[in-house]
A and B are shown apart, each in its own frame.
Chain A
Amino acid sequence: MKSKFMLVILVVLALFSVSAQQKEIRVLLANHPYGDLLKAAIPEYEKATGVKVNVESLQESQLTTKLTTEFATRSSTVDVFMTRPLQEGKMFYKNGWYEPLTGYDFSDYPKNALDVATFGNKAYIVPLVTEWEVLYYRIDLFKKAGLSVPTNFTELEMAAKRLNSSDMAGFASRGKGAAAVTQLSSYVYNYGGTYLDKGKAAFDSKEAIDAIRFYGKMLANYGPSGVTNMSWENIMPLFQAGKVAMWTDASVFYGQIVDPTKSQVPAENVGIANFPAGPKGNTPFIVVSWGMAIAKQSKNKALAMDFIKWATSQGLAKRGMLANITMARNSAWKDAEVRSKINTGLIATQEYAAKYGIPYDRPYMSAVGEARDLIGEVIIESINTAGTSTKLEALAKDKVDAVNGLLEDTGEYGVY
């Protein structure tokens, strides 16, 4: 009798708690400065709306893996998530995992940022953060050697040669195959090449090969030792330890290399300049590295929409800018307070890249992970031979065929 009575009470309590349940949404963020900023600001949102936000933060590749497995097994309770449009956008769209964002005001975003957020004629991703390729350099070393900042590849090579010594790498950039693909892209563009042309792999063109050879020559002759196993996370400590004179990489790292708690190089010795021009001009990449989206299977779409409007609002974008995060919103860059506080080099390079840049830094396709590994093989061959490999054309042709195979497998060959 007693146990039956307890059971009745439990059932009543459960029913009651369901009816009085607080509104909740589940949000997946990346371990990225903007994700951290949002996490810190979410209590304000909860207080203002009464909605409970359950946040999880993950490292970027683990975030992709978690989202993919949750969505693919149709077991997900995710409502809103941070997403990398160029890395996973096509795949997520094709699998129908993004909810179209009708009713969101996109007028404050640059057109090329919206290109990668839109599929068909619907927008699915709110651009959050942009990044572009820049040249970081050591102002003190350039002064000492009487050099001016390189504006083209010839000057880049001359400066690297002058500054290179047994104790100092004259030049650094990512050499770790797949990770190098994004930073190589600006070199390829400035030589007049591209990874994909009209939905077909094109990195075996003369222009692209010239760029890959130049990249390999620069890293083999003036790069840090062991560079073929180095991504940004290996090069940044070298730059911070004062062992690198010039470094081409994405603009996001500026904050960390001038942070006195992390770097032995004083901030006044760190310069940031436009990516150098190549034989065919200067069109570095400028990409939306992170965006935010609503999950198609979300059961709280109205709440999710309300949250995403807040999380990508002008107010938070300004707070991001003041924390050295390069936001996608146009208004964030025009704000007077922001302009007075942020590094002028960062503003100047952003303005250049926003005007002339190319909105892709990797082959834009569903099977991008595998395509990057394939291109990576060509990059490593070039670095290992200082750009002189006689096999490079044949290897690139081989990998172009493989990437075209991937495009065919996913029904994207010749589609653009």
Chain B
Amino acid sequence: MEPKKIRGSFLERNLHIIFPMPAVIFVVVMMFFPVLYTFFLSFTNWNLTSGMPLSIVMLRSYQRILREPRFLAALGRTFSFTALAVSVETILGMIIALILNREFKGKGLTKLIMLLPLVSTPVAIGIAWNLFYDPTIGLANFVLTRLGLPKQAWTGSSSTVIPSLALVDIWQWTPMIALILLSGLASLSNEPYESARVDGATEWQIFWRITLPMVTPTLLTALILRSIDALKTFDIIYAMTGGGPGYSSETLNIMAFKYSFEYFRMGQASVILVFLFLLVLIMSLLIVRMRKSLEL
């Protein structure tokens, strides 16, 4: 059967193209196209409530969004939420990783329990934490009053809502940082520690001068992953406050969602998403560059 042989060799000659094809098609259709289309929409005034067809307005939507105080507030909030959550997660994650790096009984079980928040569904987490936070019948205030502390409004007040949401993020994601750092710590060689101890270094000096510098590349990886994730946090905030009270927990992602699916201003929503995209991009590039300069 001559034809079959030819077909077979065609496949063989082009395997390097055929095999990655599904992945390439997936990336193009599901990632490149939506991003490019969002960029395109950001130059239009597409608005479903007006009943008008879409028209290109170039930078008008950008001007309108940049003049919107609500946008600037959401931008600042996106940063403050990320900074608060990620910094606490990093410090706590480091402490937990250092503890788990020692040998003790029940270490495997502890690691397993720590994984649980990571595998929970965010919306379910949001609903459960909302019950904790309920100022009247919630567990959080019950515990506070038992300890003789004043009740808090938690997500019910504009002054406490961001820390309350960050706490949920910290609860969920600290274990991930801890586990990443733990893998970094486990791969460190023992020799520098032994010689430092021989030279009489204190535990603190050992941590500060040896452990931290050696684990920094891993730490930066964890930071990149967490910061990108925290910048675009949506599920927990949407499930818990929907951006409220008022707009006081509205981050860029929540604002973009409201602009698109509640106000149906698709053009302006795209502008917000373009900014979020650039923000995440710049952050990632900065951290990658920092990591490279540290490795050199």
Task: Write the residues of chain A forming the contact surface with B, with a CB cutoff of 8 angstroms.
Answer: 61, 64-65, 68, 72, 91, 94-96, 169, 175-177, 224-230, 234, 237-238, 241, 243, 366-367, 369-370, 373, 376-377, 380, 406, 409-411
Bound Cα distance from A342 to B241, whole angstroms: 36
Contacts of A227 in B (CB 8 A): 156
Looking at the complex, which one of B130, B157, B262 makes contact with A228 (CB distance below 8 Å)?
B157
Among B2-10, B47-55, B76-84, B215-223, the one that faces the other chain is B47-55
What are 26 inter-chain pairs, A to B, with CB distance below 8 A? Answer: A68-B261, A68-B264, A91-B48, A96-B51, A176-B244, A177-B244, A224-B136, A225-B136, A225-B153, A225-B156, A226-B153, A226-B154, A228-B158, A229-B157, A230-B156, A234-B130, A237-B134, A237-B137, A243-B137, A367-B49, A369-B258, A369-B263, A373-B262, A406-B49, A409-B49, A409-B50
Q: Does B135 contact A (CB under 8 A)?
A: yes
Which residues of chain A have C-beta atoms less than 8 A from B156's C-beta? 225-230
Q: In the assembly, what is the distance between CA of A61 and CA of B260, in Å?
A: 12
- A229–B158 Cα gap in the complex (Å)? 9
Q: Which residue of the partner chain A has the closest CB to B249?
A: A229
Determine the residue in chain B with the shortest Cβ distance to A369.
Answer: B262
> What is the bound-complex CA distance between A95 and B242, given in angstroms?
28
**Alpha-carbon separation in the docked complex, A175 to B246 (Å):** 10
Q: Does B245 contact A (CB under 8 A)?
A: yes
Q: Say yes or no: A176-B245 contact (C-beta < 8 A), given A95-B48, A224-B136, A366-B50.
A: yes
Are A380 and B246 neighbours in the complex by a CB distance under 8 Å? yes
**Cross-chain pair count, CB within 8 angstroms:** 96
Give A61 to B161 CA distance when docked, in angstroms: 24
Contacts of A380 in B (CB 8 A): 245-246
Q: Is the interface of B mostly helix, strand, loop or mixed?
A: loop
Size category of the binding interface on chain B: 20 to 34
B151 interface hit (Cβ, 8 Å): yes
Task: Write out the residue numbers on chain B whose beta carbons fall within 8 Å of the beta carbon of A409.
Answer: 47, 49-50
Nearest CB on A from B127, distance (A): 10
Instruction: Write the chain B residue with the least CB distance to A226.
Output: B156
Minimum CB distance partner of A175 in chain B: B245
Chain A residues closer than 8 Å to B153, beta-carbon distance: 225-226
Cβ B246 vs Cβ A376 within 8 A? yes
What DSSP secondary structure best describes chain A's contact surface? helix
* Nearest CB of chain A from residue B3's CB, rounded to whole Å: 13
B48 in contact with A234 (CB, 8 Å): no
Alpha-carbon separation in the docked complex, A35 to B58 (Å): 43
User: Which partner residue on chain B sits nearest A370 by CB separation?
Assistant: B263
CB distance from A309 to the nearest CB of B (A): 29
Closest approach, in angstroms, between the C-beta of A148 and any C-beta of chain B?
A: 27
Chain B residues lying within 8 Å of A94, measured Cβ to Cβ, are: 49-51
At the interface, yes or no: B174 with Cβ under 8 Å from chain A?
A: no
| Least CB distance, B262 to chain A, in whole angstroms | 4
- Cβ distance B265 to chain A, nearest Cβ, rounded Å: 8
Q: How far, in whole Å, are A177 and B242 apart by their CA atoms in the complex?
A: 11
A95 surroundings in chain B (CB, below 8 A): 48, 51
Give the distance in Å from the alpha carbon of A366 to the alpha carbon of B263 in the complex.
9
Q: Are A72 and B136 in contact (CB under 8 A)?
A: no
In the complex, how many angstroms separate the beta carbon of A381 from the nearest chain B beta carbon?
8
